[in-house]
A and B are shown apart, each in its own frame.
Chain A
Amino acid sequence: MKGLKIIVLAKQVPDTRNVGKDAMKADGTVNRAALEAIFNPEDLNALEQALRVKDMVDGSTITILTMGPGRAAEVIREGLYRGADNGYLLTDRKFAGSDTLATSYAISQAIRKMKNFDIVFAGRQAIDGDTAQVGPQVAEKLGIPQVTYAEEVVEIKGKEVIIKRRLERGVELVSATRPVLITVHSSAPDCRPRNAKLVMKYKHARTLTEQQDASEDYLDLYQTRPYLKIDEWSTADIEVDDEALGLSGSPTKVKKIENVVFKAKESKVLSPSEIEIDELMRELIENHTIG
């Protein structure tokens, strides 16, 4: 079988597991600068599935596509270290403030520009929004089928991709005709670690913008080793209607942000002595909370 063209949608996300007070801006958007940026966990699960398909079908290639600020190029390097072949960074101020609809529009237009592809992988959802929307929204815009909540690509049979899905109450084995978009669930295997040889090969991979800031010692490298170039696309490079991007292309608006407040109760503190526990249990039985 001919090698497959695989695209992995990856997102650099703030690590929402460690959020401080200054994480949100007044307009309700995320102050990404205040948080550590990481490779979205389920996108790593997606990358692993892509790598397994590459292992299954000789000659397959993996392209990482990410949208974000300049520093999101880090996600592409991380992908290269683990076995991806190249990457595109979609970056433009006009993307700022995009909700899932505007984001999926931009991403789908970038994928259209890449033309032929067989499988698009993405994580089920990103930990900064937990919406799980961009994958299906991209599939709809590309007019291709989707298989969400995937746990494993079991087999590639010619035009058919056999996929196991993990749903809340069971599993499904489905077959889908390529091209297809697959979103991968966290129950899928973890991504393989970085490969030392690939780290050596790609550690100087840079976008054009990054190359301009690189120390002069490395400038020659980019001439002699074209694979070190990470492609950078702005709105000028893909066919888009600016109105459908950013805040103007985003139907959802954040009206209000509040901190989570729970009404504190005046609690009665007991020691673990038999007397105090018996007293509590007696009370619970008496007022019919238990029994």
Chain B
Amino acid sequence: MNNIFVYCEIEEAVIADVSLELLTKARSLANQLKCKLECVVLGSGLKDVEKQLFPYGVDVVHIGDDKRLSPYLTLPHSNILQHVLKEEKPQIVLFGATSLGRDLAPRIASALKVGLTADCTSLEIGSHSDKKTNTEYENLLYQIRPAFGGNIVATIINPDTRPQLATVREGVMKKEIFKDSYKGEVKTIDVAKYLNDADFVVKIIERHMENRKVNIKNAGIIVAGGYGVGSKANFKLLYDLADVLGAEVGGSRAAVDAGFVEHERQIGQTGVTVRPKLYIAVGISGQIQHRAGMADSAMVISVNTDRMAPINQIADYVIVGDAADVLPKMIKYYKKNSK
């Protein structure tokens, strides 16, 4: 009782990365709170799915396996999850801040009349004293998130309602196996008991899901361009540099909005969070929202004509110059001198 729950997303029998990232974080929170880590998987053809989950330190996997649960529909998933949560009474429930998690979690919060914090970038355990009511709270979930267009960071708490609900963006937490040999137990959810026809008033007619073509989240080196790159054609230089370095190309929101680079390459608060060993920022001014998504890079090189660009404050090297001049020089040296 009063454990931590993670709602796990699954697509084609594979647990989503964001869910594994959440489990990793939730495991450490569970250790801190001395409670168990449980998760819920709803879908179809879920045989052996627990084997993907136990290594992340999951103590109990609740599985609802039914043809009608895949692909995801709001009402069936929401109804089953509500029932499970009412029965199990967890203290914390985490969801990915994906289009699925952000569809499901508010529905749950509204039904259970509990607080929900969207798009957290950090989760901690802490205390709180309410001066008005003279109440002390221990072991609350601090839900830390950017607010107000990324200009501030807010710590949100739900002192009085349980469970405490939060969604977390993909890539913000690190995914890490807890113990390969870790074994928990499986509990089967009696799906049929909770579903009725009214849950299927929304039907999927067609569905086209694409596998992710780019993987900037896990790239060791990223060459990212901003609005300052100037055009889609100029981005070619970034691809050239990325090619020789074995890097991925990313873009700031401004570059994506301007159509210089595809949306799935967007880095920053509304895109992907990255932490490569080398981040080459080309023509990126470095708004707070962008820096929030790459500030943990081990090394940052900024190529910018503006010496005072905000990104330069967090750069290890600043090359004051034009990309069209600088990048070919980098490529030339590397080609000549790498083995």
| Chain A residues proximal to chain B, CB less than 8 Å | 16-17, 19, 23-24, 28, 30, 99-101, 104, 127-141, 145-149, 162, 167-177, 180, 250-260, 262-265, 267-272, 274, 276-278, 280-282, 284-285, 289-291
Contact among B202, B211, B292, B329 with A260 in the assembled complex (CB-CB below 8 Å)? B292
A170 and B333 contact, Cβ closer than 8 Å, known pairs A23-B148, A30-B148, A255-B142 = no
Q: Which 3 A-B pairs have the closest CB atoms?
A: A272-B321, A16-B149, A251-B115
Q: Is A174 in contact with B202, judged by CB distance below 8 angstroms?
A: yes
Q: Can you list, as one digit per residue, whether each of B305-339 has a CB less than 8 Å from chain A (1) or not (0)?
A: 00100001111111111100110011001100111
Contact among A168, A171, A281 with B208 in the assembled complex (CB-CB below 8 Å)? A171
State whether the Cβ of B110 lies closer than 8 Å to any Cβ in chain A.
yes
Count of residues in B whose CB is under 8 Å from the partner chain:
86
Give A146 to B111 CA distance when docked, in angstroms: 14
Most buried by B among A19, A256, A268: A256
Q: Is B153 in contact with A145, judged by CB distance below 8 angstroms?
A: no
Q: Which of B32-40, B100-108, B174-182 contacts A (4 or more CB under 8 A)?
A: B100-108
A136 and B107 contact, Cβ closer than 8 Å, known pairs A127-B149, A177-B201, A255-B156 = yes
Expressed in whole angstroms, the minimum distance between the Cβ of B224 and any Cβ of chain A is: 15
Q: Is B109 in contact with A137, judged by CB distance below 8 angstroms?
A: yes
Contact among B148, B210, B307, B317 with A170 in the assembled complex (CB-CB below 8 Å)? B210
Expressed in whole angstroms, the minimum distance between the Cβ of A79 and any Cβ of chain B is: 24
Q: Is B110 in contact with A251, judged by CB distance below 8 angstroms?
A: no
Residue of B nearest to A284 (CB): B278
Q: Is B153 in contact with A274, judged by CB distance below 8 angstroms?
A: no
Q: Is A131 in contact with B316, judged by CB distance below 8 angstroms?
A: no
Q: Is B317 in contact with A280, judged by CB distance below 8 angstroms?
A: yes
Give A133 to B315 CA distance when docked, in angstroms: 36
Contact among A16, A137, A269, A277 with B148 in the assembled complex (CB-CB below 8 Å)? A16
State whether the Cβ of B228 lies closer than 8 Å to any Cβ in chain A.
no
| Chain B residues proximal to chain A, CB less than 8 Å | 71, 74-75, 78, 98-100, 102-103, 105-107, 109-111, 113-119, 128, 142, 146-161, 201-212, 221, 245, 277-278, 288, 291-292, 295, 298-302, 307, 312-322, 325-326, 329-330, 333-334, 337-339
Contact among A129, A147, A253, A284 with B202 in the assembled complex (CB-CB below 8 Å)? A147
Q: Is A270 in contact with B99, judged by CB distance below 8 angstroms?
A: no
A270 and B207 contact, Cβ closer than 8 Å, known pairs A252-B158, A254-B154 = no
Q: Is B205 in contact with A267, judged by CB distance below 8 angstroms?
A: no
Expressed in whole angstroms, the minimum distance between the Cβ of A209 and any Cβ of chain B is: 28
Q: Is A269 in contact with B157, judged by CB distance below 8 angstroms?
A: no
Give A138 to B322 CA distance when docked, in angstroms: 51
Q: Is B320 in contact with A128, judged by CB distance below 8 angstroms?
A: no
Residue of A nearest to B160 (CB): A251
Q: Is the interface of A mostly helix, strand, loop or mixed?
A: mixed
Return 7 A-B CB contacts under 8 Å, by A number: A101-B109, A137-B109, A140-B78, A251-B161, A265-B316, A281-B334, A291-B339
Q: Is A132 in contact with B118, judged by CB distance below 8 angstroms?
A: yes
Q: Is A252 in contact with B333, judged by CB distance below 8 angstroms?
A: no
Q: Is B150 in contact with A271, judged by CB distance below 8 angstroms?
A: no
Q: Is A277 in contact with B337, judged by CB distance below 8 angstroms?
A: no
Contact among A17, A255, A258 with B128 in the assembled complex (CB-CB below 8 Å)? A255
Q: Is A257 in contact with B152, judged by CB distance below 8 angstroms?
A: yes
Give A270 to B111 CA distance when docked, in angstroms: 57
Q: Is A169 in contact with B151, judged by CB distance below 8 angstroms?
A: no
Residues on A with C-beta less than 8 A from B146 are 260
Contact among A137, A265, A267 with B106 in the assembled complex (CB-CB below 8 Å)? A137
Residues on A with C-beta less than 8 A from B292 are 260
Residues on B with C-beta less than 8 A from A284 are 278
**10 further contact pairs, Cβ within 8 A, besides A170-B207, A265-B300:** A19-B149, A133-B105, A172-B206, A255-B155, A263-B295, A265-B313, A268-B318, A270-B319, A290-B221, A291-B339
Most buried by A among B147, B157, B314: B147
Residues on A with C-beta less than 8 A from B150 are 260
Residue of A nearest to B97 (CB): A132
Residues on A with C-beta less than 8 A from B153 are 257-260
Most buried by A among B74, B75, B111, B160: B74
